[in-house]
């Protein structure tokens, strides 16, 4: 499957049209759709791992999590709204006893499923079952190309577990599963090795942005890529258009030629998150009351939240450039990621903390640690602290 840059219509002579025409489709997306194109659904906060930078601060099941019937009701709604597919995550979704039932339920109700997993429940039998399903896709998460780098963030043995899952999928002829990596200061140097690993399994590589969300807030300052690494990453992504990014590096498009993808924030406009309690947020990286749109358990269900919530209406308003209005690259970067700005404590109508022109850095430095927004409820089991560089 190819990533597509939105083509610009050939311009009549004399008119500089690129910014307008290129954003034609983007404008429609920004104004919102009647239903999300896809959405992320975190099924549980329970997890057998305790990754240092977990975006949902997962570890322990929350007693308020939606039960099977409530989940089925959400799926029924998604079917009525013609949501094409859901991205299931968590925590570790396969830990839920009703996980497979819900996957089957979704598929039999016209909702495709892609689920993200650390691989711990993917044995040979599960792999064969997955290989037999036409509408279920799998994404295995790792954060290092070797055990040392990966386990430093995800815990002892987690790399081996992930690899074993990949081996099972390959043996079962599952086909093209995804390998998903969150890019950090420690693993950007391994970018070529990730590609080799993915090629070895015939898997599709997906690289995504590390945001200061969830437990990520604690380690963001130590782990986020350096300026040099961002530039390196940008050029590598341009050279490898077959590598997916979930459009999460659109702030890097300010460096030059736009990266493939929509290059805009989909939160509340094209995508959103349903959390294990049924709360609806703009995206999985803003699990915070300020970005909560409502609950699927309220009278109007998910549809009402998606179509009528104040938060989403606000996000669908045209966004002004704010402090970025004097910068020539605003069209390309759209001011970056609101989650990154929010959790580093800098204004939402200004530069991204990792602004490629360096405009975000001084703002971040000036923020008193105590003034940063508090991350949502911590569902972790133990206190997790990032150590020094991973052993070589």
Partner 1 sequence: MELTDVIEAADAELADTENEELVEDELLVEEISIDGMCGVY
Partner 2 sequence: MPFNLDAPYRLHDRVALRPEPFGALAYHYGNRRLNFLRAPELVTLVRSLGDHDSVRAALAASEIAEQRWPSFEKALASLAKSEVLVAT
Site for partner 1, rule CB under 8 A: 1-4, 6-7, 9-10, 12, 15-17, 19-21, 24-25, 29, 37-40, 55, 84-85, 87, 89, 116, 180, 206, 208, 244-248, 250, 260-262, 264-267, 270-273, 282-285, 318, 320-321, 325, 330-331, 337
User: Quick one: what does residue 82 bind among partner 2, partner 1, none, with the CB cut-off 5 to 8 Å set by partner type?
Assistant: partner 2
Q: Measured from the CB atom, is 10 or 63 closer to partner 1?
A: 10
User: If binding is defined by CB under 8 A, does position 134 make contact with partner 2?
Assistant: yes
Per-position DSSP letters for 161-204, written without gaps between them: HHHHHHHHHHHTT----EEEEEE-TTTGGGHHHHHHHHHHTTPE
User: If binding is defined by CB under 8 A, does position 110 make contact with partner 2?
Assistant: yes
Widest distance between CA atoms in the chain:
63
From the list 18, 28, 70, 108, which residue makes contact with partner 2 (rule: CB under 8 A)? 28
Q: State the minimum distance, in angstroms, from the CB of residue 312 to partner 2.
A: 15
Q: State the minimum distance, in angstroms, from the CB of residue 245 to partner 2.
A: 16
If one counts every other C-beta atom within 10 angstroms of the C-beta of residue 35, the result is: 18
Q: Measured from the CB atom, is 38 or 47 closer to partner 2?
A: 38
Q: Which stretch binds partner 2 (CB under 8 A): 31-39, 184-192, 205-213, 323-331?
A: 31-39
From the list 22, 35, 44, 169, which residue makes contact with partner 2 (rule: CB under 8 A)? 35
Q: State the minimum distance, in angstroms, from the CB of residue 391 to partner 1.
A: 27
Q: State the minimum distance, in angstroms, from the CB of residue 267 to partner 1.
A: 5
- H helix or E strand, kind and range, residue 91: none
Nearest to 74, CA basis, from 347, 368, 301: 301
Q: Measured from the CB atom, is 167 or 349 closer to partner 1?
A: 349
Nearest to 380, CA basis, from 40, 42, 55: 55
Q: State the minimum distance, in angstroms, from the CB of residue 171 to partner 1.
A: 26
The sign of the CA dihedral 150, 155, 156, 157 is negative
Q: Which stretch binds partner 2 (CB under 8 A): 28-36, 193-201, 210-218, 298-306?
A: 28-36
167 vs 128, 135, 157, 253, 279, CA distance in Å?
A: 12, 21, 15, 35, 36
Q: State the minimum distance, in angstroms, from the CB of residue 247 to partner 2.
A: 13
Q: Measured from the CB atom, is 27 or 199 closer to partner 2?
A: 27
3-state secondary structure of 378: coil
User: If binding is defined by CB under 8 A, does position 112 make contact with partner 2?
Assistant: yes
From the list 3, 84, 128, 229, which residue makes contact with partner 2 (rule: CB under 8 A)? 84
Q: State the minimum distance, in angstroms, from the CB of residue 33 to partner 2.
A: 6
Q: Measured from the CB atom, is 98 or 110 closer to partner 2?
A: 110
Query: What's CA 202's distance to the chain center, in Å?
Result: 22
Q: Measured from the CB atom, is 33 or 327 closer to partner 2?
A: 33
From the list 11, 25, 125, 365, which residue makes contact with partner 2 (rule: CB under 8 A)? 25
- H helix or E strand, kind and range, residue 64: none
User: 195: which residues sit within 8 A by CB, 6+ positions away?
Assistant: 205, 240, 243
Q: Which stretch binds partner 2 (CB under 8 A): 131-139, 210-218, 241-249, 277-285?
A: 131-139
Q: Are 356 and 233 in contact (CB under 8 A)?
A: no
Q: Are 304 and 298 in contact (CB under 8 A)?
A: yes
From the list 1, 16, 370, 371, which residue makes contact with partner 2 (rule: CB under 8 A)? 1
Separation of alpha carbons 65 and 72, rounded Å: 13
* Long-range contact pairs involving 158-165 (C-beta distance under 8 Å, separation at least 24): 158/49, 158/51, 158/118, 161/118, 161/119, 161/120, 162/118, 162/119, 163/119, 164/119, 164/122, 165/117, 165/119, 165/120, 165/122, 165/127, 165/140
User: If binding is defined by CB under 8 A, does position 33 make contact with partner 2?
Assistant: yes
In degrees and rounded to multiples of 5, residue 178 shows phi and psi of: -105, 145
User: If binding is defined by CB under 8 A, does position 82 make contact with partner 2?
Assistant: yes
Q: Write out the residues near partner 2 by the rule CB under 8 A.
A: 1, 25, 28, 33-35, 37, 82, 84-85, 110, 112, 134-135, 137
């Amino acid at each position: 499957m190819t990533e597509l840059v939105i083509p610009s219509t050939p311009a009549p002579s004399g008119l500089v049209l690129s910014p307008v025409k290129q954003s034609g489709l983007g404008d429609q997306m920004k104004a919102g759709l009647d239903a999300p194109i896809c959405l992320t659904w975190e099924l549980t906060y329970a997890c057998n791992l305790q990754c240092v930078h977990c975006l949902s601060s997962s570890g322990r099941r929350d007693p308020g999590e939606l039960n099977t019937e409530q989940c089925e009701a959400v799926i029924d709604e998604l079917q009525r709204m013609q949501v094409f597919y859901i991205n299931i995550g968590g925590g570790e979704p396969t830990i839920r006893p009703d996980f497979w039932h819900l996957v089957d339920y979704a598929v039999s109700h016209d909702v495709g499923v892609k689920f993200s997993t650390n691989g711990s429940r993917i044995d040979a039998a599960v792999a064969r079952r997955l290989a037999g399903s036409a509408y279920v896709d799998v994404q295995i998460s790792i954060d290092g190309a070797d055990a040392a780098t990966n386990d430093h963030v995800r815990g002892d043995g987690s790399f081996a577990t992930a690899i074993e899952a990949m081996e099972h999928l390959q043996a079962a002829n599952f086909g093209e599963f995804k390998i998903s990596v969150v890019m950090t200061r420690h693993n950007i140097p391994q970018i070529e090795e990730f590609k080799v690993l993915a090629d070895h399994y015939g898997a599709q590589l997906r690289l995504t942005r590390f945001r200061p969300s969830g437990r990520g807030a604690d380690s963001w300052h130590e782990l986020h890529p350096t300026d040099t690494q961002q530039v390196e990453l940008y050029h590598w992504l341009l050279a490898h258009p077959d590598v997916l990014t979930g459009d999460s590096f659109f702030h890097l498009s300010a460096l030059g030629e736009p990266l493939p993808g929509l290059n805009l924030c989909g939160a509340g406009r094209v995508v959103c998150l349903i959390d294990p309690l049924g709360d609806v947020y703009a995206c999985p990286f803003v699990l915070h009351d300020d970005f909560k749109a409502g609950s699927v358990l309220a009278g109007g269900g998910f549809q009402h939240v998606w179509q009528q919530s104040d938060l989403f209406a606000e996000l669908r308003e045209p966004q002004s450039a704010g402090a970025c209005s004097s910068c020539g690259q605003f069209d390309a970067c759209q001011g970056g990621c609101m989650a990154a700005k929010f959790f580093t404590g800098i204004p939402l109508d200004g530069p991204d903390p990792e602004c490629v022109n360096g405009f975000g850095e001084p703002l971040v430095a000036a923020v008193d640690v105590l003034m940063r927004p508090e991350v949502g409820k911590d569902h972790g089991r133990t206190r997790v602290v990032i150590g020094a560089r991973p052993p070589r």
